Amino acid sequence: MGKSLTITGSFLKPQPVEVKTQIAQEVEKNIWPMFDSKKIHPIIYKKLPLAEAADAHRLMESNEHIGKILLIMD
């Protein structure tokens, strides 16, 4: 079911600086603390060494994963 979800967004460029400032302040106040407390966090599917970047890309293209594929540098 997760693969059929649609995420939408909007551009902030045409917005006045005051609106962008307000949005940034609200995100800092209400969203960042949830990351700090681990209440919300990214889903990591797999970690691969940088040398296996081609394998990671094939995995990403396969669309058989849910979450992030991370390349790890030693």
CA 71 to chain centroid:
14
For every one of its 74 residues, what pLDDT tens digit does the chain have, with 9 covering 90 and above?
A: 566 777 778 788 888 999 999 999 999 999 999 999 999 999 999 999 999 999 999 999 999 999 999 999 98
Q: pTM of the prediction?
A: 0.56
pLDDT at 20: 92
How far, in Å, CA of 37 to CA of 30, rounded? 12
pLDDT at 16: 93
